[in-house]
Structure 1
C-alpha cells in the first residue's frame, strides 16, 4: 500500500519524553553543568564548592593579604581565590588586646602588608588548621624577622631551630626596641597561661 516501509516505533523513556516536550529543562541542565567550575571560585566564605588547595611544607605560594588579625596572624587570598589563615612561623607577637604592644605590632603588620602581595613559605599546619609560614615581602625581606628585629615579637624558640632569629631578638633587647623598652615584658605564651 505505501511505497515506503512504515517507521518503527521505538520505545522512548519517560526522561527523553520529558526533555522533548520541555526544552527548557535541557537549557537549565546545560547552564548548570557549565557553571560547576565557577562555583568554587566564589569568595572562601560563600563558595558552594570548596576546593581546598593543599600546600606542602616548604612550598611557597603568592598571595594577597586581605585581613590582619594581630601581630602574627593574617588572612590571605591565593591565586585560586581561596582564603587561608596564616600563623607566622618561629615568632610569637602580643595577641591579646590587653597585652602591651599588641596594637603596635598589629599596626606594624598592617602598615607593611595590608592589601599587598606577599609570598607565603609554608612550614607546617597547626592544630587549628592554619598554615604556619614565613611571610616574604615584595622586597625579599622576611616580615617574621622584621617583627623580631623591631622588638614587636618574641622568637618562639620552642618551635624554631633558627638561631638567627634569636640573634635578632638579642639585638632588639640590647637596643631596648619596642617591647624590650618595658623592664619585664611578658611573652605571649606566659600571658596566655595567666589568662586561663
Structure 2
C-alpha cells in the first residue's frame, strides 16, 4: 500500500494535533484510506464481478456451457454461459454440445458480459464473438435448453423472447438433442445423479 501525502499529514496530525476535532479528522482520513486499500485487495487477479466485461481468447471448453478465457494480462477466467443449460458430458448430446461450442469459440477472441458470479466462483456470462450471441447459438443448434428458471429473474425481455423462440424452432426442426422424443433436461439429470 502506497501512502499519499494527505495520509502522511493525517498520521502526523493524529499524533501532534492539540484538538480533538483535528485528531478525529485524521482518524477519518486514515480509516477511509484503510477501507479503500482493503476493498481493492479483496478483488484478486482473475476474480470476477457482476456487471464487468472481459475480452480474451478462449483457451478451454469444459462442456456445452462452460469455457475458460485468457485476457490480455494473461489472467484466466472460468465462465458459465448465462441463461442456457447444456447436456452434461455423460448425457446424450453432451459431447455434441461441447464440440459445437468448441467449433464456435475455441482459440477465438470473445467478449464476456458478466451477469452474475455463481457459487463456484465462475462468471455467469453472455458470450459474444463478432456480434454473435454464442449462448443463443447453442440453443439454435438444439444443444442447450433455455434455462428459464434463472432467465426469468435476470434476462431482459427481448433476449428472453429470442431464446424462447430459438428453442421452439430447434424443437420443431428436431435439431440436436430434440431428435430425442423426450430429452432429459440437465437439471433433472443432475438431481437424479447426485
Aligned 1:129-168 pairs, distance under 5 A: 129-138=121-130, 140-161=131-152, 162-168=160-166
Residue 71 of structure 1: which of 60, 64, 67 is its match? Answer: 64
TM-score (structure 2 length as normaliser): 0.71
Matching of residues 169-188 of structure 1 within 5 Å = 169-188=167-186
**1:109 partner SS:** helix
SS of aligned partner of 1:62: strand
User: Gapped runs of 5+ residues in structure 2?
Assistant: 1-42, 153-159
Aligned to 1:34: none
RMSD over aligned Cα atoms = 1.5
CA shift, 1:167, in A, is: 1.4
Bigger drift between 119-128 and 50-59 goes to 50-59
Distance in 1 of aligned mates of 2:91 and 2:49: 33
- Answer yes or no: is the 8 Å Cα contact 2:58–2:109 preserved in 1: yes
CA distance in 2, matches of 1:84, 1:55: 8
Instruction: Tell whether 2:84 aligns with 1:87.
Output: no
Residue of 116, 121, 136 corresponding to 2:108:
116
Distance in 1 of aligned mates of 2:46 and 2:135: 24
Aligned counterparts of 1:145 and 1:56: Cα–Cα separation in 2: 23
Q: Which runs of 5+ in 1 are unaligned?
A: 1-49
Shift of 1:146: 0.5
Distance, in Å, in 1 between the alignment partners of 2:81 and 2:139 is 11
Residues matched between the structures, number: 145
Alpha-carbon distance in structure 2 between the residues aligned to 1:81 and 1:72: 22
